[in-house]
């Protein structure tokens, strides 16, 4: 199980995907990174870690639109969409 401990916040991949589905309403739809309820450092760390993992990152698609920008591995992004195939690694 993948688990990141950031201060008092613990979020594993399953929890991120569940939260993503609530925010976005379904796979393949953009969800604002700000809506995950993490502070800036936590958001950048959690999503940066997923972005660095080949087996996970291929299902994550970051975009920049209107909204709060976060630096994910040196690139500014506001939203993420996740492919339904992420279920293969959950």
Confidence of residue 10 (pLDDT cuts 50, 70, 90): low
Of 5 and 27, the one with more pLDDT:
27
Confidence of residue 11 (pLDDT cuts 50, 70, 90): confident
Q: What is the C-alpha to C-alpha distance for residues 30 and 2, in angstroms, rounded to an integer?
A: 23
**Residue 65's pLDDT is what?**
97
What are the extents of the domains in the chain?
3-89
Query: How many C-beta neighbours within 10 Å does residue 63 have?
Result: 11
Q: What is the pLDDT of residues 22-70, one digit of tens each?
A: 999 999 999 999 999 999 999 999 999 999 999 999 999 999 999 999 9
Q: What is the C-alpha to C-alpha distance for residues 13 and 5, in angstroms, rounded to an integer?
A: 12
Confidence of residue 6 (pLDDT cuts 50, 70, 90): very low
């Amino acid at each position: 199980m993948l688990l990141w401990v950031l201060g008092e916040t613990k979020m594993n991949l399953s929890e991120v995907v569940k939260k993503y589905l609530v925010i976005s309403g379904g796979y393949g739809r953009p969800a604002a990174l700000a809506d995950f309820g993490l502070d800036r450092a936590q958001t950048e760390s959690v999503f940066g870690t997923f972005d660095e993992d080949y087996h996970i990152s291929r299902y994550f698609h970051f975009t920049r639109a209107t909204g709060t920008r976060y630096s994910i591995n040196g690139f500014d992004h506001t939203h993420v969409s996740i492919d339904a195939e992420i279920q293969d690694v959950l």
